[in-house]
Amino acid sequence: MSDKEKTQAQLIKELTQLRRRVADLEQSETAGKKTEEELKASQMRFALAAQSASDLIWEWDIPTGRLEWFGPIDKFLGYASGKFPRTIKAWEKAIHPNDHDRVMAALDQHLKEQTPYNEEYRVRRKNGTYRYWIDRGTAQRDSKSNLLKMVGSCTDITARKRAEEALRESEKRYRVLFEEARDGIALADADTGILLDCNRALADLIGRNRAELIGQHQAILHPPSGNNTGLSSTFKKHLTNKEGQVLETQVLTMTGEIREVEIKANLLDLQGRKVLQGLFHDITERKKAEEALRESETRFRTLFEAIPDTILVHDDEGTILHINEIGAHRLELSAQDLVGKNLRAIVTPENRASIADHIKEAHKVGWSRFETTYVSRSGWKIMTEVNERPIKFGKEKAILSVARDITERKEAEKALVREKNFSTTIINSSPDLLFVFGEKGNIIRWNSNAEKVTGYSASEIAKMNILEFVAKEDIETAAQAAQEALTIGQASVEINLRSKPGKKIPFYIIGKRTKIENDNCVVCTGIDITERKEAEDEVKRGNEQLRKTLISTVNALASTVEMKDQYTAGHQPRVTQLACAIAKEMDLPAGQIEGIRMAASIHDIGKLMVPAEILSKPGPLTEIQFEMIKMHPQAGHDILKGIEFPWPVAEIVLQHHEMIDGSGYPRRLVGKEIMLEARILTVANVVEAMTSHRPYRPAYDIKEVLAEISKNRGILYDAAVVDACVKLFAEKAFAFV
């Protein structure tokens, strides 16, 4: 019992004793003046004690309904001194409507049955607001058990109630944050590792519900072969240093998938219990992105170093930040030697002044194209065509420069100018086609072979656009190649040229950008590839002939089987017809259907290894004979496995008597262990066999057959295959030809 409750109980006890003493004195005719003075002094002490107490003492005269308060009741309820009515009805009226019935029922039960009266409820102040208090009281009876009075006390608990409400709101907000957090959160006992709680995000990440996780050891979250050692050592560090840690590890989902996570862990003290809090952030996609980035960087590095051009990165001052090895080798230096040097150190003096202008242009318009001359360590001059554009190099601005060695081209251009007549003779003597066209496709030059091939005269060609020589279906391809040659510098393409008479001639065209009188143009050379195309067509015809030969071989094998087993003649073609129809109904690709067709047409080839007297036996087979029949899938596989089909024909034949439940033969495969093609062939084989006459039984009606395979749908036969087969007969009127 608290000190406040003890004080309250003492006041009630003193009040009760005082009242009894007053009653005794009033009944005593011999009470003297001294006794009255003692009584008054005692009453004064009690009144002072009641007024100074933090609780309210009350006394209810039950017969009269008078309710006397000892304590600042008026101040407590916001009334002027003495203004709150001293009646039981006034008190009852002040009780909050939602608490009234409960309080009155408890009071009534106490008066009737003497049960404890101890109630929490709200009372209304004069301004309409409410305060909480705890009301306790005890009824007093006379010698005949008649109710006389009830004495009690009230304790103001408004502050406590508001604190509890604030705590509930805080816990509610925490729970909302806890449950709605996008990252997983787990609370585990720091000593045992047992999970105490987790949020929905963690349960979703693991693929389990919370009930499955709570109470389990934290190891359930992680794969058995994962970084459990590192995880345990981190936990121990928390227990010793009490410092938050970040750990990258793995979690194991319900489906067996391993996800990468980053765990931020903290050691908490919850009511004297050490609890480890872990925030699980799924970083699987980030890890994949990082791996992809590393792979991309590796590919970029490979390409960067393999490109034959000089590729370098420099800042706005011209300082070289990076250069590929090929470019450095061309300058007769290493990449390490060049990084940190300025571009001005590797170009001819007349090109140094323009470096700043090119950098400025690149930033202004987004790119810059120009020609410059590099100087190697030994003084060798390398004329280059440079394309530059601004980039980010790390976090800094930089310029990417791609320089193509055009020394040979430049020398050739000079030689071409010096010996124009000679070069014209050379060009015209070339057996290849040659055109030079400008940026708009206008033809600038051509050789005599161009006139011969196209059938156009020189005057006609001079007025034509380069694309007018291209067959209609190849115009778009040719235009893209021409644009590529103009922008990148070189392009190649295979297209059909159209001669004046309308003949299409296949050519391999190579275009290379050059300059004529400071104008960009493209030099195209074309090689007639008619003979190569004809050779390719011949190869295609040969492949087609091989395919036909393979089909003929398969058909011959199928015929051999039917010649041996005359009772089942036509069985393989009909099975093939139904199997392909089922495959089409299931929307399988054409190539896969062709494989099914090939396997179905020879699926019983293994019966060549079974004695003819067993195959043609008119009655039931003995157990030994049936075991010999069951050998034909393996025998068929052994015959076919050496033939290089484009499809897994041998494996399909091996599995065509396997059943979904594992009761088939020869390997007793189960479910998805059986190839889809074999599952289709199995159903087609059963349906055809049952609908065909045999010497030892008549043919079954198709309705009986469909009922049989439907009964074993998902047991012996693949459900999807059975559905497709039933649909063919029931809805699409399938019939064997």
| 438 and 371 both lie in a single domain | no
- Domain membership of residue 490 (yes or no) is yes
The model's confidence at residue 48, banded by pLDDT at 50, 70 and 90, is very low
- Domain membership of residue 411 (yes or no) is no
Q: Look at residue 275 in the predicted model and tell me its pLDDT.
A: 87
Three-state SS for 309-326 is: CEEEEECCCCEEEEECHH
Provide the sign of the torsion angle of the four alpha carbons 19, 24, 27, 30, taken in this order. negative
Q: Is the pLDDT of residue 208 over 70?
A: yes
495 and 471 Cβ atoms separated by less than 8 Å: yes
| 659 and 723 both lie in a single domain | yes
Q: What is the mean pLDDT of residues 147-166?
A: 89
Domain end point (choices 252, 287, 322): 287
Q: Is the pLDDT of residue 56 over 60?
A: yes
Provide the sign of the torsion angle of the four alpha carbons 40, 43, 47, 48, taken in this order. positive
344 and 356 Cβ atoms separated by less than 8 Å: no
How many residues can be counted in the chain? 737
| 390 and 444 both lie in a single domain | no
Q: Look at residue 343 in the predicted model and tell me its pLDDT.
A: 93
| 695 and 641 both lie in a single domain | yes
Q: What is the mean pLDDT of residues 230-258?
A: 69
| 320 and 252 both lie in a single domain | no
- Domain membership of residue 557 (yes or no) is yes
Q: What is the mean pLDDT of residues 490-512?
A: 89
Q: What is the mean pLDDT of residues 402-420?
A: 81
| 515 and 569 both lie in a single domain | no
Q: Is the pLDDT of residue 559 over 80?
A: no
In 3-state terms, what secondary structure has residue 393?
strand
CATH of the domain at 584: 1.10.3210.10
The model's confidence at residue 429, banded by pLDDT at 50, 70 and 90, is low
Instruction: Give CA–CA dist 316/396, Å, rounded.
Output: 10
Instruction: Give CA–CA dist 152/135, Å, rounded.
Output: 7
| 453 and 597 both lie in a single domain | no
CATH of the domain at 71: 3.30.450.20
Q: What is the mean pLDDT of residues 600-616?
A: 78
Q: H-helix or E-strand containing 252? A: strand 245-252
Q: Which residues form the domain of 381?
A: 307-405
**Least trusted range by pLDDT, from 234-238, 245-249, 473-477:** 234-238
Cα within 13 Å of Cα(542), Cβ side: 6
| CA distances, 599 to each of 647, 681, 685 (Å) | 9, 8, 12
Side chain identity, residue 45:
R
The model's confidence at residue 37, banded by pLDDT at 50, 70 and 90, is low
- Domain membership of residue 537 (yes or no) is no
Q: Look at residue 723 in the predicted model and tell me its pLDDT.
A: 96
Instruction: Give CA–CA dist 202/472, Å, rounded.
Output: 61
- Domain membership of residue 294 (yes or no) is no
| CA distances, 693 to each of 565, 569, 704 (Å) | 14, 11, 14
The model's confidence at residue 29, banded by pLDDT at 50, 70 and 90, is very low
- Domain membership of residue 150 (yes or no) is yes
Q: Tokens at residue 423, please?
A: 């070069």
Instruction: Give CA–CA dist 373/276, Å, rounded.
Output: 67
Q: Is the pLDDT of residue 548 over 80?
A: no
**Mean pLDDT for the chain overall:** 83
| 112 and 185 both lie in a single domain | no
Q: Tokens at residue 224, please?
A: 């058995």
| 344 and 219 both lie in a single domain | no
Q: Look at residue 244 in the predicted model and tell me its pLDDT.
A: 66
241 and 251 Cβ atoms separated by less than 8 Å: no
What lies within 8 Å, CB to CB, of 86 at 6+ separation is 66, 67, 68, 69
Percent over 70 (pLDDT), the chain: 83
Q: Is the pLDDT of residue 653 over 70?
A: yes
670 and 662 Cβ atoms separated by less than 8 Å: yes
The model's confidence at residue 345, banded by pLDDT at 50, 70 and 90, is very high
Q: Is the pLDDT of residue 137 over 70?
A: yes
**Least trusted range by pLDDT, from 163-167, 398-402, 592-596:** 163-167
Q: Is the pLDDT of residue 235 over 60?
A: no
The model's confidence at residue 565, banded by pLDDT at 50, 70 and 90, is low
Q: What is the mean pLDDT of residues 227-256?
A: 65
| 596 and 716 both lie in a single domain | yes
Instruction: Give CA–CA dist 657/19, Å, rounded.
Output: 105
- Domain membership of residue 365 (yes or no) is yes
Task: Give the count of beta carbons closer than 10 Å to the beta carbon of residue 103.
Answer: 20
- Domain membership of residue 524 (yes or no) is yes
Q: What is the mean pLDDT of residues 280-294?
A: 88
Domain count, the chain: 5
Q: Look at residue 41 in the predicted model and tell me its pLDDT.
A: 47
Domain end point (choices 287, 318, 349): 287
More confident residue, 24 or 724: 724
The model's confidence at residue 529, banded by pLDDT at 50, 70 and 90, is confident
pLDDT tens-place string over residues 349-385: 999 999 999 999 999 999 999 999 999 999 999 999 9
More confident residue, 126 or 533: 126
Q: H-helix or E-strand containing 477? A: helix 475-488
Residues linked to residue 443 through DSSP beta bridges, in sequence order: 437
Instruction: Give CA–CA dist 489/595, Å, rounded.
Output: 47
pLDDT tens-place string over residues 168-184: 887 787 777 787 788 88
Percent over 90 (pLDDT), the chain: 37
Q: Is the pLDDT of residue 556 over 90?
A: no
What lies within 8 Å, CB to CB, of 566 at 6+ separation is 616
Q: Rounded to the nearest 5 degrees, what angle is found at the Cα of 662, between the Cα atoms of 658 and 666?
A: 45
| 635 and 725 both lie in a single domain | yes
Domain end point (choices 253, 287, 321): 287
| 258 and 372 both lie in a single domain | no
Closest CA to 572 of 582, 564, 563, 562: 562
Q: Look at residue 625 in the predicted model and tell me its pLDDT.
A: 78
pLDDT tens-place string over residues 572-591: 889 999 999 999 999 999 99
